[in-house]
């Protein structure tokens, strides 16, 4: 790292363009001065172990002054972050741009170390993938269609029973009306309470029975229709099989 510090400082201070260029363009005196400032800032960040920030600063300096030694400093920062793949790539870029580098032997050793590091990291990732539990397997719930069919049949039976109860309620309602008319006929010319008591009680019982059967029949009919509709609409039930240490866990899911 210190070798690159000295060399870059010399290159930044000594490099002179053959032709003038726009102010701020790469290679101009202004760009070189800015690159020198960035290099100083990046070096300070590197020394403070702020490697991610140093990488960003060295990249900006390289954009202004594309000297290969900046690539070496970027590679060094990646190596400190244990980002072996990026470090290896920048070491190789450094040697490709500066094949006669004085520290070539050292950089080649770094590349060999990064090759080993990359292989080890790939092996660790593969091992972690193997240790992860398999993803749950979902599919149609067994006998889901049979359950829906049974529910629909049950709904039909319930609805028919409700209609039957409603029909019985209608019978008792008619009987209650008949008893009321009979009571009116008996009492047209005056009647004794004892004579019409049975008729009156029968009419009341029929009326109460009609009301109860109407309520029961309506509730049963509505429930039966609801069961049929639910079976027809909720046909996306599925089962999830999750592997576990003791075997598998099976759970059924459906939309409500």
CATH class of the domain at 2-131: mainly alpha
* SS3 assignment for 70-118: HHHHHHHHHHHCCCHHHHHHHHHHHHHHCCCCCCHHHHHHHHHHHHHHH
User: For residue 55, which of 86, 101, 30, 25 has the smallest C-alpha distance?
Assistant: 86
**pLDDT of 141:** 52
Distance in Å from the first CA to the final CA of the chain: 65
* CB-CB neighbours of 122 under 10 Å: 12
**Residue 189: per-residue pLDDT:** 66
pTM: 0.48
Predicted confidence (pLDDT) per residue in 9-66, tens digit: 444 444 434 445 454 566 689 999 999 999 999 999 999 999 999 999 999 999 999 9
118 within 8 A of 88, measured Cβ to Cβ: yes
């Amino acid at each position: 790292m210190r070798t690159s510090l000295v060399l870059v400082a010399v290159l930044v201070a000594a490099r002179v363009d053959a032709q003038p260029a726009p102010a701020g363009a790469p290679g101009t005196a202004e760009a070189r001065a800015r690159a020198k400032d960035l290099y100083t800032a990046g070096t300070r960040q590197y020394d403070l172990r702020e490697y991610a920030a140093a990488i960003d600063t060295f990249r900006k300096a390289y954009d202004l002054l594309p000297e290969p030694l900046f690539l070496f400093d970027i590679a060094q920062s990646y190596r400190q972050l244990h980002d072996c793949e990026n470090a290896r790539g920048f070491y190789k870029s450094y040697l490709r741009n500066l094949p006669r580098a004085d520290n070539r032997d050292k950089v080649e050793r770094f590349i060999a170390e990064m090759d080993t590091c990359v292989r080890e990291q790939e092996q660790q990732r593969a091992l972690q993938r193997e240790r992860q539990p398999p993803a749950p397997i979902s599919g149609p719930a067994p006998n889901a269609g049979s359950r829906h069919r049974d529910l629909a049949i049950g709904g039909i039976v319930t609805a028919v029973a409700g209609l039957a109860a409603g029909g019985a309620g209608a019978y008792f309602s008619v009987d209650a009306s008949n008893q009321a008319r009979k009571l009116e006929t008996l009492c047209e010319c005056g009647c004794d309470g004892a004579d019409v008591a049975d008729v009156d009680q029968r009419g009341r019982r029929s009326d109460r029975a009609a009301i109860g059967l109407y309520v029961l029949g309506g509730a049963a009919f509505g429930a039966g229709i609801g069961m049929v509709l639910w079976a027809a609409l909720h046909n996306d039930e599925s089962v999830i099989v999750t592997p576990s240490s003791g075997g598998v866990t099976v759970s059924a899911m459906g939309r409500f």
